[in-house]
Structure 1
Amino acid sequence: MSLSENKPRLRWACRRGMLELDVLFMPFVEEAWDDLTKQQKQDFDRLLECDDPELFAWFMGHEECKDEALNAMVQIILNRVKV
């Protein structure tokens, strides 16, 4: 079973070693998860498999994710936070 099919496990996977990532992921899952397409949920699952330093660099704009689908998910999360 993937994380996208089990919201409690997904919440647990969103707990990261960096507070900066926690404050992005946790509200996103609570507020926007149900509105995502199946593909976006799968992309988010893959995003959670990435290492924290890599995620931090993408979300803080220090680097750009080369994976198009993951980069799109980063942008969706960042845009959601700005709203």
Structure 2
Amino acid sequence: MIDETEVKRLWWHSRRGMLELDVLLIPFVEKVYRTLEHEDQLRYQALIEHEDTDLFAWFLERVVPEDPEIHKIVLRVLEHARTP
């Protein structure tokens, strides 16, 4: 079962203040995070600990994260963003 306090904390951590990141991360937390398998939830938690500049480069697909686990969750976030 998902702890709603944890989801709220993640929502605030996902709010980066950079529009390009906010439009990707906040909807992902609101609509997808609760449905993720535990491993993907842990990946997302690790993802949002990174610097905005890294996140920006990864989501614009200018750079691939060195950590394959982070790369997996970046792809999930991008997949969600591209789904109408």
The CA RMSD over aligned residues, in Å, is: 1.7
* In structure 2, distance between residues paired with 1:24 and 1:5: 21
Show structure 1 runs of 5+ residues with no match.
Answer: none
Q: TM-score, normalised by structure 1?
A: 0.91
Is contact 1:4-1:45 (8 Å) kept?
no
The answer on 1:21 being equivalent to 2:26 is: no
Q: Report the residue type matching 1:52 in the other structure.
A: D
Q: How many residues align?
A: 81
Structure 1 contact 24–81 (Cα < 8 Å) conserved: yes
Whether the 8 Å CA contact 1:43–1:69 is kept in 2: the answer is yes
Mapping 1:68-79, distance limit 5 Å: 68-79=68-79
Note the residue ranges of structure 2 that are not aligned, 5 or more in a row: none
**Identity over aligned pairs, percent:** 36
Task: Give 2:58's aligned residue.
Answer: 58
Once superposed, which parts of structure 1, at least 4 consecutive aligned residues long, lie more than 6 Å away?
none
CA distance in 2, matches of 1:59, 1:32: 17
